[in-house]
């Protein structure tokens, strides 16, 4: 039975089914409403430290203080974050790599597709949609 009371879930034509399906997915993977997904960070760690910080991959495994002690430069919000974080490296072709400190909500997004690039694309698209909805008639810009 679908969420609208019909007999089949219709993820192609029924908006309510689509939204509830996504909500069920996030709930199953412990999405925490209000929790940020990630923080932009800069890395000044030597390669040996960086390897150790990247080893857990997408699994939040470090406190903000642990990341900072190993050369990750956090902004004030990230430095005060109370939960575990994962250092995620995003390579950008010829441009310098980008780093984020990912939270459990970032990890929840990656349960559908393990790629950190997928998660960033989904999150940036969601942000662009939210901005567009907040300002009808104005085109949203998608971050590069």
Distance, in Å, from the CA atom of 72 to the CA atom of 84, rounded to the nearest integer, reads: 14
pLDDT at 21: 85
Q: What is the mean pLDDT of the chain?
A: 88
Q: Of 28-32, 43-47, 52-56, which range is least confident?
A: 43-47
In order, the DSSP letters of 23-80 are HHHHHHTT--TT--SEEEEEE---HHHHHHHHTTTTS--B-HHHHHHTTEE--HHHHT
pLDDT tens column, 83-111? 999 999 999 899 999 999 999 999 999 99
Q: How many Cα atoms occupy the beta-carbon half-sphere of 89 within 13 Å? A: 17
pLDDT tens sequence across 18-29: 888 888 888 888
**Residue 144, pLDDT above cutoff 80:** no
Q: What's the whole-model pTM score? A: 0.81
Q: What are phi and psi of 18, to 5 degrees?
A: -65, -50
Residue with tokens 């050369």: 71
Residue 138, token pair as written in the block? 């104005």
């Amino acid at each position: 039975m679908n969420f609208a009371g019909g007999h089949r879930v219709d993820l192609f034509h029924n908006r309510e089914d689509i939204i509830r399906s996504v909500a069920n997915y996030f709930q199953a993977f412990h999405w925490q409403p209000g929790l940020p997904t990630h923080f932009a960070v800069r890395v000044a760690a030597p390669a040996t430290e960086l390897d150790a910080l990247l080893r857990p991959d997408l699994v939040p495994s470090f406190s903000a203080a642990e990341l900072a002690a190993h050369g990750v430069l956090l902004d004030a919000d990230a430095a005060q974050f109370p939960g575990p974080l994962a250092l995620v490296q995003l390579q950008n072709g010829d441009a310098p790599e980008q780093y984020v400190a990912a939270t459990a909500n970032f990890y929840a997004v990656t349960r559908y597709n393990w790629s950190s690039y997928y998660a960033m694309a989904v999150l940036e698209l969601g942000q662009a949609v939210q901005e567009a909805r907040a300002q009808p008639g104005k085109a949203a810009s998608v971050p590069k």
